Amino acid sequence: METPSTLPSSVLADRLAAVRQNIDAAAHAAGRDSASVTLVAVSKFHPLSSVQEALAAGQRVFGENRVQEAASKFPALRATYPDLRLHLIGGLQTNKARDAVRIADVIESLDRPELAEALAKAADKEGRLPELLIEVNTGDEPQKFGVPREKADNFIRTCRQQFGNKLQGLMCIPPATQDPVPHFRLLRSMAQEHGLPVISMGMSADYPQAIAEEATLVRVGTAIFGPRPPSP
Ligand SMILES: *Cc1c(COP(=O)(O)O)cnc(C)c1O
Q: Residue 189 maps to which CATH number? A: 3.20.20.10
Query: What is the distance of C-alpha 89 from the center of its chain?
Result: 5
- What is the tens place of the pLDDT at every residue in 83-118? 999 999 999 999 999 999 999 999 999 999 999 999
Q: Which residue among 12, 62, 89, 136 is best mutated to probe the pocket of ligand 1, counting the most ligand atoms within 8 A of its Cβ?
A: 89
Does 232 fall in a domain?
no
First to last CA, the chain: 40
Q: List, in order, residues 6 or more apart from 227 with CB less than 8 Å away.
A: none
* 224 burial type by CB count under 10 A (0-12 exposed, 13-18 middle, 19+ buried): buried
pLDDT of 30-79, one tens digit each?
999 999 999 999 999 999 999 999 999 999 999 999 999 999 999 999 99
Residue 22, in any domain of the structure? yes
Ligand 1: does its nearest atom lie under 6 Å from the Cβ of 73?
A: no
Contact yes or no for 167/159 (Cβ under 8 A): yes
At 164-216, the pLDDT tens digits run 999 999 999 999 999 999 999 999 999 999 999 999 999 999 999 999 999 99
Q: How many domains does the chain have?
A: 1
Give the integer Cα–Cα distance in Å for 9 and 11.
6
Domain that holds residue 41: 4-225
Q: Is 173 in the pocket of ligand 1 (CB under 6 A)?
A: yes
Output the CA torsion sign for 212, 214, 220, 222.
negative
